[in-house]
Structure 1
Amino acid sequence: MDTHTLSLGWCVKCSGGVYSSDQACQAMGRVYHDRCFTCCTCGQKLKGKPFYDFSGQVFCEEDYLYSSVKHFAEVCSSCGYLITDMVLQALGKSFHRECFRCVVCNETLEGQQFSVDAQNKIYCVKDYHRFLAQTCAVCEQLILPIEGSNESMRVLTMGRSYHVACYEGKSNI
């Protein structure tokens, strides 16, 4: 009786045949022996554990997060955690997409217009105008964008803000 052992594939690390699924693992679309899928820093077996692939090297979570490798990774300016997927860049800083939010309504601002105050707090345009708009010195109403616009126009003179129309009307008096 002729018995043939079927191979599950070739181990990416040692190039040996992988013949048993209980001694194999698949990661990043490749096949490894359990004994070969290890952290490049500490040698810990990684089958079934969190791992990070950085520049073609595989790291256990601890070595990736607490070694010099993490200095190459982006850190979210909002939550302080590593960004392991897509990075959102704004204001010269890096954010998780879900961490880039309005400080008032907490809505995510990915792909949206936004404004910042003097302390670099991030606002959706609506909340920025609602909470930080100037008051007109003549009519005492907020100076807000006209309908359909995100920009407001004001006249600033001698430390006071005016609607353009209110300022023009004031100077005609």
Structure 2
Amino acid sequence: MGQVYHDSCFSCCVCGQKLKGKQFYDFSGQVFCEEDYLYSSVKHFAEVCTSCGYLITDMVLQALGKSFHPDCFRCVICNETLEGQPFSVDTQNKIYCVKDYHRFLAQTCAACEQLILPTEGSNEIVRVMSMGKSYHVACYEGKSDI
């Protein structure tokens, strides 16, 4: 930090604990013991994981305007980690892997009553919405009375 301290003077600015030989943090020109840095007055500067509620002291994953530990960003159904993976959210901002999102939240076709799922090799659903109902494109085109 570019300064010299007496052993007895090098202490936490919050609790006064002597810091010689201990983990410490320099934040905005003030020196903190590890406990005070992580859990007290400086806490509002640190990111808190939306999922587990613990402070994020290393890598932060930002998604949906929130912060997560990379390992805490998981599908609500299968619990697989979604770091670096495509994901979807429902109307309540619950996070799903694409497979589970389609499996549990897919719309039913009003014509054939089958789930409207992505075509093979795709993660995107194509559907036709008409008069508040969902249809497969082929089912909608094949219905002359719609």
Using structure 2 for the length normalisation, give the TM-score: 0.85
Change beyond 3 A, Cα 1:110–1:57: farther
Question: What is the aligned partner in structure 2 of residue 14 from structure 1?
Answer: 4
Q: Residue 81 of structure 1 is aligned with which of 47, 54, 68? A: 54
Identical-residue share of aligned pairs (%): 84
Q: CA RMSD in A?
A: 2.5
State the one-letter code of the partner of 1:135. T
Change beyond 3 A, Cα 1:79–1:48: farther
Q: Within 2, Cα distance between the matches of 1:93 and 1:87? A: 10
Q: Deviations over 1:80-133 (max 9, x none)?
A: 111111111110111111111100111111111100000000000010000000
Question: What is the aligned partner in structure 1 of residue 129 from structure 2?
Answer: 156
SS at match of 1:145: coil
Q: Deviations over 1:20-70 (max 9, x none)?
A: xxxxxxxxxxxxx86565323323134565544535644223322343311
Q: Within 1, Cα distance between the matches of 2:87 and 2:26? A: 34
The range that moved more, 155-164 or 127-136, is: 155-164
> Rg: which structure is higher?
1
Structure 1, unmatched stretches of 5+, are: 1-10, 16-32
Q: Tell me how many residue pairs correspond in the alignment.
A: 146
SS at match of 2:143: helix
